[in-house]
Structure 1
Amino acid sequence: MSENKEETLASFQNITGIDDVGEAFSHLEAVNWNLMDALSRVMPHDDAPLAGPVQQPEPPARSSLAMESTNGFLPPGYDELPGPSNAGFFAALENRNQNLTMHQAHLHQQQQQRFPTSQLLAQLTSSINLDPVSSHNNNQNVIAFNIHFNQQLYRIRLPSEATVEQLKRKIFDVTSVPVCRQAIRGWPPSKASEAQQPEARIGNLDLAPENELILVDLTDDGFMDTEQDEVTQRSDKIFTIHIQFESESLTLSLPGRTTMQALKMNVFDIKSIPVRHQEWTGWPSGCDNETTLAQSGIELSHRFAVRSTAGAAQNSTSSQHNSTFEVVNVDSESSADEFEDATDFNNAEYIFTDSPPTQPLNRHLIPNNTDDETSGSTQFVENYKSLYGEPCPEFFVGSLESAKQLACLKSAKERKLLAIYLHHGKSILTNVFCDQLMKHESIIQTFKEKFVLFGWDLTYESNKDMFLSSLTACISSNASLTARNIKLDKLPAIMLVGKSRQLGSNCEVLSVIQGNIGLDDLLTRLIETCEMFEEQLQVEIRQEDERAARDQVKAEQDMAYEATLQADMAKDAAKRQKEAAQLAERKRLESERAEEDARRESIRLVAQQSLPQEPSELEAGISKIRVRKPTGDFLERRFYTHNSLQDLLNFVTAHGFLIEEYKLISSWPRRDLTAIEGSQTLETLKLFPQETVILEER
């Protein structure tokens, strides 16, 4: 059984071209080692019925790729390759394809009896006609896709009811990237999750009639289906990292939350290879130093290859002379470890540039694998001045985002253009451009007055990728695509970026000046772009002035209103204070009045209680006293003649006429009775048998 599995595994790899033994093993295990079912999982389904044995789609020839591309780009270094190497490589590819075809025919003959042709056709064909031209429904909606991959543009047109899986099959037809290794970017954000479902119809993804998508080849070394194993769950798992150096290997066990930067530091601690000199092979596309092992999409057990670039500069001369390349054929008898460690055979760029020719140290301005933009910008400026001397333009030192804020994110009157100088040490135009054009006084003065000048070196791919990612984040994906599409023979180049009123807070590339230009033309292009940009800003400046005038008037009105409001508030406060004082005074007076009334009432009650009993008219020795009040009314009472004057005074007090406020006057002789001793009797004072006395206010 083990021999059958090994034979099935070898057949599966030969037919599908999957070099990763682990991935091939997982596909066969999923279908219980049924070869035809495993092939149907990974092989693309053709839209037309199969007329013969299953065959591996041939990769597009060089001429067809060039014709398919709209920008004419080929892999870096393609045209510069020597003839014998090209011939050897294509001969090897042809030999491999012939062997695969013969093996597939033999396999098909063996499987013909066990698997009916109709079943195979049902698995490998699609229910929808994916060719819009030959569709019977002339009114069928057609959606166009521009697929960007490896600096090539591939155009695909599908009916709206086609699925995402069928789109990926079409992509396979033109790019030879298997469906299982395709990662597509550029879907509408609201439909990004739905676009990950193979059965999702493209007509339901809110797509435009023509769409720009980016294809990323998730290589065998780095691909796994993270949708089935969430990153949050993988973060706590232990990853076994096998690292192959030039002469030895290393195995590390690290948690999934370990970042690429931390992994590189571990290698530095163990092998003493500085991070900037570490060149890694095996990371999936889109990873950076902050990407964790869980986020990268690698398997829990994964292999990397690491080599030190520290000696690349010393070996550059010999590597330039050794311009012939060998095509290594992997023997079927090779071990599984050697097979997994081998580089992807379909990656022609890697084969042709096995060890990329390193330019002399004085040609690049930023070292390979620079950690961050700020340090790279600092080294760029220092090396530029050291290499080309003074005078030189005033380059901004810092990140691209900081340069953008300094130039573009200001008011219209203070705003400048952002000039991005793109350097390349391998371009034949570099020395002339930097020694002559960039040293001219008019160019230096124009950059200083009108621009914020940011410089970057694209010589190394690692630095180029980091810059393009930053350019996408800071400016736009179109700006990144523009920089990527500048050919080597047109570098150095200057991208002029600005922000106008129509774009809000976003910026756009206004012009690209390529290195094959003269001094007068360069100065003219810079001035013309400045004039065009300033003309666009005039409207915004005028609006800013009008807005400032309105704000000034509004501020003055607000100040006047505030002053009036403060005066009114002061008046209200004074009024409230006065009312509060008056209220307090009234309460005080009322309190004093109440106290006085209580005191008078107390005196009256005491006087009333001290009055003697009034005698009757029939008794002897009585005196009848009449008291005339200030109002003219009379009070009248009988007293005994032996009653005292105080008893008479108490009678008057008991009726509310306090002696301290009133005087009691006798008519004849006129006497102030309140001034006489109160103990004297009425008889002594001759106030009998009757008498009339008068109450007067004091």
Structure 2
Amino acid sequence: MSENREQVLADFQACTGIEDVGEAIFHLEETNWDLLAAINRVMPQETQTLPSEMDVDVEMIEEIKREPSNSVKSSPDVTVISCVRSDCPLPFQLPVSVGADFIPLPSTSQPESSTRLLQFRIHFREEVIQLQLPDTGTVGDLKTLLTAQLGILACQQGLEGWKHYPSSDLTTLASLNLPKENILFLTVPDIMEDGELSAEDSSTAERLIQPYTLNVHDESQQKNYSLKFLGSKTVLEVKTDVYTLTDIPVRHQVWTGWPSQLKNDRTTLACSGIRHPVHEFTVKRAPFTAHPIKENKKFVVDLADSDNSSVEEFEDASETFTEDDIFVDVETKRMQPLIPNNVEDEVAGCIHFSDQFTNRYGECHPEFFPGSLDEAVKEACLRSAKDRRLLAVYLHHDGSVLTNVFCTQLLGFESVLQCLNNHFVVWGWDLTHESNKLKFLGSVTRTLGSVAAMTIRNIEVERLPALLIIMRMRSATEIFTIVHGNVGVSELLTSLIQAVDVFTEQQRMEIREEDERAARELVKREQDAAYQESLEADRAKEEAKRHQELMENREKERREIRRQEVELIKEAHRLEVKSQLPEEPQESAGAGITKIRFRLPKGECLTRRFQITAPLKVLLDFLVVQGYPPDEYKVISSWPRRDLTSLDSKLTLQELKLCPQETVILEER
């Protein structure tokens, strides 16, 4: 069920653009987690326009002054943006949504929209640009209209004077709670005196779609990263991605390599001034310095207007004082909330909490972790067993009568401070405002799960403030115990010591298990290394054997080819000799013939008649035709015994006295 709700929450934020998780959960719970009903509840139907229905083919933007009609209340300097077909003077097309400031006609098909039309007076140099935009639009839409009028790219525009500074260009105007009329100031870097952009800035539109390679060296871990981003990526998005690699939160990152004129993290890479296509950076973790605890204390009287009652709080008051001491070192001021209402950035809210807590209750308090809840959980729980610590989440509420005593007497008690500083990471949050409570519950749901969020939701205001003790046990991060505000110092200290004892015992077991696991992994790695070495040796032997067999096969093939070539040569020579060999004479030829009997090497006999006048070469050629060439076989006469192949082949058989008959023997050489 929790996984389905997380998916519904993600879909709801993607459809509505609401970045505040607490606000999104509030709307979904109001509609019983019906996604479609929640979207229709937040977004009026008139504003649910599909991207395909938006007119993006606009070539020129012209400013037209419209005279007020009788049916509409006149307003001075009303500007209407309309589209005219002409050549666009800008180097790129601008998607402009037209018609948001037209007079709506009566309609019976749709109910009356609750969308407000906001007016903006934007000061730039000696010029005042007046624009109108519905509150359903975004900051990016406002910058697009400014680009159409001034020709200044949106990434180079800096708008100052917001009531609530937008987190990005995708922030809707309605979420900023703006009045109907607004005055803003436009700042643009690197603008020439005549108002024209420099030659380098004119190519910014092209650099927005070009890839940048950022070589980042992490000095803390001595690692190098090569990251690729488009020019449209902002500096803050780059730092956030680096946080996922180095585990250094953005606020703790110390960079070297960004241009000195870069002041805004919302600047895109194309407009930041870094080199293209490759730029070198170094990053490291900022040193953490604890605030010293001051011994001298002063009396503070805070006058607060709470939702329930007005409270006068006296801090660190001495046990006895004279009448004159009442007017010494007494400072009267209106109590500021520890976290402002509707805070958007959780990290900024935590820093504000720590500063205001110090201003209100003095320096004698635990050191609050200056980061988000997720970062605090990582710092305390998601580390190795040896480096792991307990996490104490302090929940504050100005509407509780127990708050002042808990903050001054319990959290400021020396033994409590010593225990918290030695064994805990302390993180604080103010639940006074409902919006901040919803944001905190959203963070708890993401970090600790829905069960923990439900447990915190059920804590009554009368039992606040509370101290949540969170520890990691058996690969699970859970709430160990909750110390409510209606306890004394001894009970608080007992709860903390009990939590430390349980955590220490569990930590000792997990350290032993991690050491055993590390030893097993070391043995396994050594065995794997030995096995790999043996496997490599076997592979080398097998490779040498295969290579030897391959060489032998190649040698056999070469010999076979050579033998076939020799056979072909011999056969060709045999055929040639056969064609030149004279015919065998007939036996009836008389005394002019001789009969030669050949005894072959295998014991067989072969007989043929020759002319007695025929040269010895004819006899040898006959043997060649029969497959016994003279270079391989000797031809031995019986008497006298001699090798005929060594004699002159031109001598006749009669001269060699091989007539009228003779027997010769063939022997292999």
* Compared CA separation, residues 575 and 670, structure 1 to 2 (3 A): same
* Paired AA for residue 553 in structure 2: L
Query: In 1, Cα distance between the equivalents of 2:403 and 2:549?
Result: 88
Structure 1 residues 596-654: Cα deviation after superposition (integer angstroms, max 9, x where no partner): 22222222222222211111122131122223333343332111122111111111211
* Partner residue, 2:424: 451
CA contact (8 A) 2:304 2:334 kept: no
Q: In the alignment, which residue of structure 2 is the partner of 1:241? A: 115
Measured after TM superposition, the shift of residue 385 of structure 1 is 4.3
- Cα shift readout 1:372-404 (whole Å, capped 9, x = no counterpart): 101111222334445555454332221112212
Percent of aligned positions that are identical: 42
Equivalent position of 2:569 in the other structure: 599
Aligned-residue CA RMSD (Å): 5.0
2:28 touches 2:38 (CA, 8 Å); kept in 1?
Answer: no
> How far 1:236 sits from its partner (Å)?
1.0
Query: 1:419-458 alignment to 2 at 5 Å?
Result: 419-425=392-398, 430=403, 433-458=406-431
Q: Map of 1:213-228 to 2, 5 A cutoff?
A: none
* Cα displacement string for residues 479-507 of structure 1 (whole angstroms, at most 9, x for unaligned residues): 44554555556544311123433xx64x4
* 1:577 correspondence with 2:390: no
Partner of 1:673: 644
- Partner residue of 1:88? none
Match of 1:685 among 646, 649, 656: 656
**Residues 1:251 and 1:471: Cα distance change in structure 2 (over 3 Å):** farther
Aligned to 2:624: 653
Equivalent residue number for residue 374 of structure 2:
401
Matches within 5 A, 1:213-612: 234-236=47-49, 240-242=114-116, 254=134, 272=161, 274-275=163-164, 360-385=333-358, 388=361, 390=363, 392-425=365-398, 430=403, 433-484=406-457, 486=459, 490-501=463-474, 505=476, 507-535=477-505, 544=514, 547-548=517-518, 550-612=520-582
Unaligned runs of 5+ residues in structure 1 are 1-184, 194-212, 278-288, 297-302, 309-315, 325-358
Does the Cα contact within 8 Å between 1:423 and 1:455 map onto a contact in 2? yes
**Cα deviation code 1:224-258 (max 9, x no counterpart):** 8866999899521876523899xxxx997538575
Measured in 2, the distance between the counterparts of 1:242 and 1:565 equals 75
Select the residue among 586, 597, 600 that pairs with 1:629.
600
Cα distance between partner residues in 2 of 1:232 and 1:685? 128
What CA distance in whole angstroms lies between the structure 1 residues aligned with 2:41 and 2:403? Answer: 49
Give yes or no for contact 2:596–2:662 (8 Å, CA) kept in 1.
yes
Q: Distance in 1 between matches of 2:116 and 2:131?
A: 5
Q: Structure 1 CA distance, aligned partners of 2:355 and 2:663?
A: 128
**Cα pair distance change 1:525/1:251, threshold 3 Å:** farther
Going from structure 1 to structure 2, the CA distance change for 1:432 and 1:407 (only over 3 Å counts) comes to same
| 1:342-381 per-position Cα deviation (integer Å, ceiling 9, x unaligned) | xxxxxxxxxxxxxxxxx95555333333221011112223
Cα offsets for 1:493-526 (capped at 9, x unmatched): 311123433xx64x43322223444444322221
Paired residue for 1:66?
Answer: none
What is the match of residue 217 of structure 2? none
Distance, in Å, in 2 between the alignment partners of 1:547 and 1:370 is 44
Question: Which has the larger Rg?
Answer: 1
SS of 1:660's equivalent?
A: coil
Aligned to 1:106: none
Judge conservation of contact 1:641–1:683 (CA < 8 Å) in 2: yes
Please state whether the residue corresponding to 1:581 is helix, strand or coil: helix
CA contact (8 A) 1:424 1:458 kept: yes
The equivalent of 1:125 in structure 2 is none
- Please give the alpha-carbon distance, in whole angstroms, between the structure 1 residues aligned to 2:636 and 2:375: 108
Distance 1:244 1:253 in 2: 5
The secondary structure found in structure 1 opposite 2:567 is: helix
Partners of 1:454 and 1:189 in 2: CA distance:
27
Distance 1:360 1:424 in 2: 19
**Paired residues of 1:662 and 1:696 also in contact (CA < 8 A):** yes
In structure 1, how many angstroms separate the alpha carbons of the residues matched to 2:3 and 2:666? 113
Residues 563 and 231 from structure 1, CA distance in 2 versus in 1: closer, same or farther, beyond 3 angstroms?
farther
Give the helix-richer structure, 1 or 2: 1
* Whole-angstrom distance in 2 between the partners of 1:575 and 1:380: 75
Tell me if structure 1 keeps the 8 A contact 2:304–2:335.
no
